[in-house]
Structure 1
Amino acid sequence: MKERIVDEQIRLISYYQNDAVSFCRYQDADVCKQVDNRDTPHDLALLHRM
Structure 2
Amino acid sequence: MATDVVGFAALVYKDEGGTLEQMEHLRREVIAMLVQAKQGWLFNLCATDF
TM-score scaled by structure 1?
A: 0.31
Structure of greater Rg: 1
Higher helix residue share: 2
Higher strand residue share: 1
Relative contact order (C-alpha < 8 Å, sep 6+): which is higher? 2
TM-score scaled by structure 2?
A: 0.31
